[in-house]
Structure 1
């Protein structure tokens, strides 16, 4: 697969599709592939679109793609669908709604299952973002499965996070409960042709005021925009607002800082995964650890002492020449 990187960089869509599948299936050379691709990333701008089920995220994403394509941008889309409990694959509802873009060579859409990830974003999703970045996508849109405490993980992947709400569904209260106020860079009240839209806008503005977001400050205050995704009303304004946020992030240096923070977090995550794998492997092979765990169960050893001993001895062994 690594030998196909030049074809990917040259814009071969078939290679892109195969490479994404390879990463999803955790291929043997996946890490080597991602190592090589890392040098070709950092140019694509990632937009996260999240919101409660039925808010019209997929239809809105479809319209955003159209606006970006009008300007000639190359767009990659990752639609993070719930994983089917039967097949283990993604439920492809989002792709059906975006079918008009499938013949457009400037757009690449891929559905991915959450695969049990509590954050709504599987680890593979972040890796696929890198592949789309290396492929040359100017914008990479990640549409997530829904809003909740676990959806906060979109912050770890997106440069701009758009939270989609709808009138008449108690979304503003849900936003408070889920902590969505903290992750939204832009609020969108979709289905703005329905009654109650102005009330939702007002509630969000009040929550922003209570959250310390003052109008006129140099710091970014999440704007609240109204859209009707079925007709496309207001989507052009939303795209302009995304670009304004990007310009503000670049001007203040926050974009670079946030990307650096995410890269540091990625390294830490890889280290944590490796340590867990090392410990699991050792626990499976050594009876010594079984004895130690039995001591915890019988309460002759406390869990903290056991964990410290396991970590110390395992890491010491790994560090020996």
Structure 2
């Protein structure tokens, strides 16, 4: 009964636009708390935010660029949510200090809400927590949500499954062309920003990207990823980049692709929970794992035994 009363109170404040209720809900969901899950079920699917994923190697200037894009969105009267995802920092909460300091100018703006996710171990791990946090921000009524990831391997590919539009930020100086051409990363980007374009090698990087894109498979609806030179520190090229984000959103609408994105996001969330369950169960399945290592069981037999404890392996 107390649970129900708490839920009613939290939902009421959340729907009334209380930012503290949003912060509480995000904390509960990130921790995998039943109250957070219950609230999420009630409010999910309300709101239609434009979700933009921003990824790229550390040092590419993603936070500064995100900061500039927030300004562009606010100029247009949009209410903006930002999720700064740092999968590399499970203990120190490294995302929190760095991103919050860089985006401090928005601290007093009630139309901007910035949240760092730097936790592990919640239901679905960080990936599941990110999608759940997105759903909460969307239900809260944000017009645009930026999801910025630190960009280490898997998180670059994951973000494309979570966002409607994926922006890959590269810089001329960091050997980024080589990084970007690694399997999977070129394919996920809907737009490219060559940031710190004032450094040597900017034009060359754009030419390398163009050549690589000519060889990559066509995108849904025939979208051809554009490349924008930017200098986030001065704001140069940022307005054009923002217009590019808008153009991609229009493309998704015109070709009926948005609903597919929503379904893929939900599929990704369910997969994340399954993966986290599997990870937790194998941690405490020493005997099964030992039998696999000794060749007594196949990995499939061990996995089935974990999924269905009543089906005892031979």
Q: Could you say which TM-score interval applies, normalised by the shorter chain?
A: 0.7 to 0.9
For residue 51 of structure 2, give the secondary structure of its aligned residue in structure 1: strand
- In structure 2, what is the equivalent of residue 319 of structure 1? none
- In structure 1, what is the equivalent of residue 22 of structure 2? 16
For residue 72 of structure 1, give the secondary structure of its aligned residue in structure 2: coil
Please tell me the root mean square deviation across aligned C-alpha atoms, in Å: 3.1
- In structure 2, what is the equivalent of residue 44 of structure 1? 49
Gaps of 5+ in 1: 317-321
User: Is residue 252 of structure 1 aligned with residue 255 of structure 2?
Assistant: yes
Which of 213, 216, 227 in structure 2 is aligned with 1:211? 216
**Residue-pair matches, total:** 305
Mapping for residues 22-37 of structure 1, pairs under 5 Å: 22-37=28-43
- In structure 2, what is the equivalent of residue 57 of structure 1? 62
Mapped partners of 2:171, 2:72: distance in 1:
21
Measured at CA, do residues 121 and 56 of structure 1 come closer, stay the same or move farther in structure 2, by a change above 3 Å?
farther
Mapped partners of 1:212, 1:37: distance in 2:
37
* 1:142-188 per-position Cα deviation (integer Å, ceiling 9, x unaligned): 11112434421101210000000111221111101253111100000
- Larger relative contact order, structure 1 or 2 (CA cutoff 8 Å, min sep 6): 2
- In structure 1, what is the equivalent of residue 240 of structure 2? 237
Mapping for residues 176-215 of structure 1, pairs under 5 Å: 176-213=181-218
- In structure 2, what is the equivalent of residue 224 of structure 1? 227
Mapped partners of 1:235, 1:21: distance in 2:
32
Kindly indicate whether the alpha-carbon contact (under 8 Å) linking 1:120 and 1:153 is maintained by their aligned counterparts in 2: no
Q: Which has the larger radius of gyration?
A: 1
TM-score by structure 1 length? 0.83
Measured at CA, do residues 312 and 44 of structure 1 come closer, stay the same or move farther in structure 2, by a change above 3 Å?
same
- Cα distance, 1:62 vs structure 2: 0.5
Measured at CA, do residues 116 and 176 of structure 1 come closer, stay the same or move farther in structure 2, by a change above 3 Å?
farther
* 1:270-301 per-position Cα deviation (integer Å, ceiling 9, x unaligned): 45656776x669x77xxxx95x6665555444
Gaps of 5+ in 2: 1-5
Mapping for residues 111-150 of structure 1, pairs under 5 Å: 111-113=116-118, 115=120, 121-150=126-155
- Cα distance, 1:269 vs structure 2: 4.3
Measured at CA, do residues 305 and 81 of structure 1 come closer, stay the same or move farther in structure 2, by a change above 3 Å?
closer
For residue 177 of structure 1, give the secondary structure of its aligned residue in structure 2: coil
